[in-house]
A = this chain, B = another copy of it.
Amino acid sequence: MNLQQLRYLREAVRRDLNLTSAALALHTSQPGLSKAIRELEDELGITIFVRHGKRLTHLTDAGRAVIVIVERILLEIDNLKRSSSDWHNAQVGELRIAATHTQARYSLPPAIARLRADYPEVTVRLHQGSPSQIVAMIRLGQVDLGIATEAIGQQADLDSEDLFSWYHCAVAMPSHPLCRLEKVDLKALSEHDLITYDPQFAGRAHIDRAFNEARLKPRIVLEATDSDVIKTYVRLGLGVGIVSELAISPEDESEGAPQRLVRLPIERPFARNTTRVAFLHGRILRRYEQALIEAMKY
């Protein structure tokens, strides 16, 4: 048994039992991969894959049991490399982050700037996606850390940590009728056109829940995954935007700004959102990964 075989096996499973595709991904030949897997099966004395003629169709029970352990082994091998690397040159490396747009655009920049200053030799790769895509990227080992607000604290195979909390706010153009009110409640909001996040994103669940509990049907005229897109449409006068307060900067609200946004005085805020960072369960974090996480907490 050797690590190569385990890596091949994992990739084959990840690629839905397509050895050709797995071989391609691993920059090796398909026959070699095929052989390695058969040899592993022989040595362990089990069949991992059910074969129909010359196709791998699905995993056996034993295969499912084995793959779990193999994933753990390879995770620890990674930990070994990362941990070693931390001892001899803590400051060089690569950090792959997946985040939603809101995080990538508003909460990550200062943390990454800080990281770049403290660890100039670390390359940062930033991927964007929906929370479920982020989770998938972590699982497949395509990224090291995932940052999102939804769906990221409840995965059994991921470890996660709270970073910070924030609320939604409502913004409108100065000319909007709601800007004339002292207090804006849910009912008032529900009577105007609203623009907010796609249901998967940035705490949208909390927004829906609030309206639901008040037995109100909001008129959401536009959904986007992206705070900037929402702000743009608010500026076009399409409605009131409900966005993360992270996405509203002083410049957006300043008197002199050409397309000034006004933050509406919402009576009671939508439920608090907590942005979290997640990574593979059991993964040891490198020094700069921990530094980034600390830099994001406040």
Contact = CB atoms under 8 A, between A and B. Distances in A.
Interface of A: 1-3, 44-46, 61-62, 65-66, 69-70, 72-73, 76-77, 79-81, 83-85, 87-89, 284
A81 B46 CA distance: 10
A73 to B, nearest CB: 5
A62 B88 contact: yes
A281 to B, nearest CB: 13
A88 B61 CA distance: 11
A73 B84 contact: no
A83 B77 CA distance: 20
B3 A84 contact: no
Contacts of A80: 1, 44, 66, 69-70, 73
A47 to B, nearest CB: 9
Contact of A62 (B1, B62, B73, B84): B84
Nearest to A79: B69
A153 to B, nearest CB: 25
A81 to B, nearest CB: 7
Contacts of A81: 1, 44
B2 A2 contact: yes
Majority SS at the chain A contact face: helix
Residue from the set A80, A83, A88 with the largest chain B CB neighbour count within 10 Å: A80
Given A2-B2, A2-B3, A81-B44, A62 B76 contact: no
A94 to B, nearest CB: 15
A85 to B, nearest CB: 7
A121 to B, nearest CB: 14
Given A3-B1, A88-B46, A89-B45, A73 B66 contact: no
Given A1-B81, A69-B83, 19 more contacts: A1-B77, A44-B80, A44-B81, A44-B85, A44-B88, A45-B85, A45-B89, A46-B84, A46-B87, A46-B88, A62-B88, A65-B83, A65-B87, A66-B84, A69-B79, A69-B80, A69-B284, A73-B73, A73-B80
Given A3-B3, A73-B77, A62 B87 contact: yes
Nearest to A45: B88
A44 to B, nearest CB: 4
Contacts of A61: 87
Nearest to A89: B45
Nearest to A84: B44
Residue from the set A66, A76, A77 with the largest chain B CB neighbour count within 10 Å: A76
A83 to B, nearest CB: 6
A204 to B, nearest CB: 40
A49 to B, nearest CB: 14
A73 B80 CA distance: 9
A76 B69 contact: yes
